[in-house]
Amino acid sequence: MYYRYIRNQKSGYCVDNRSDDTDGLALWQAICHESALAQLFRLKDA
């Protein structure tokens, strides 16, 4: 199982989880940090 950063190719920013609450998850773009666990997402096959 792999976790990945989702990076915007144009801005270079990563998708980030704004809060610890996963109900009503709020996402935004932030500067990518390798130590930011909120920026790691597990992608599932469709």
Q: DSSP character for 45?
A: P
Q: What mean pLDDT do residues 10-23 have?
A: 80
**Is residue 22 predicted with pLDDT exceeding 70?**
no
SS3 assignment, position 7: strand
Q: Containing H/E element for 14? A: strand 14-17
The residue ranges of every structural domain in the chain are 3-42
- What average pLDDT does the structure give for the chain? 83
- Residue 45's pLDDT band, with cuts at 50, 70 and 90, is confident
Cα–Cα distance measured from residue 28 to residue 33, given in angstroms and rounded to the nearest whole number: 14
- Residue 12's pLDDT band, with cuts at 50, 70 and 90, is very high
- Cβ contacts of 8 within 8 Å, gap of 6 or more: 14, 15, 29
Both structure tokens of 42: 């597990």
Identify which has the larger pLDDT, 37 or 7.
7
Cα–Cα distance measured from residue 18 to residue 27, given in angstroms and rounded to the nearest whole number: 6
